[in-house]
Amino acid sequence: MSLALQMRDYRLTTAEILYHLPDHPAVLQSYIWQNLDLAPKFPELRKFLDFWSSNLDGKLHSVRVGAAQLITPPRWTHQVLTIQ
């Protein structure tokens, strides 16, 4: 299934989610989320963040997102080896 999603331009997406601790709202905690998602709208991440907002106590502070394609064209490099 992962390969099928990658063929439809899904990318490995990593999000750093900062949220307020429920018992200590002045303290921020970090959570790392990673999944295959479709950039730039990120429907899977948005679904997760909607779930978070409606079901978890920690109020979201910020989300930083990075995405990278997993399937890319091969690169050819020319190297010369010296054998002694």
For the stretch 7-47, pLDDT in tens is: 788 888 999 999 999 999 999 999 999 999 998 899 999 99
Position 48 pLDDT exceeds 90: yes
Instruction: Specify the pTM.
Output: 0.77
- Give the pLDDT band (50/70/90) at residue 69: confident
H helix runs in 1-84, sequence order: 2-7, 43-55
| Structure token digits, residue 60 | 């979201």
Tell me if 21 sits within 8 A of 29, measured CB to CB. Answer: yes
Provide the pLDDT for residue 50: 96
Position 1 pLDDT exceeds 60: no
Q: Which residue has the higher pLDDT, 5 or 28?
A: 28
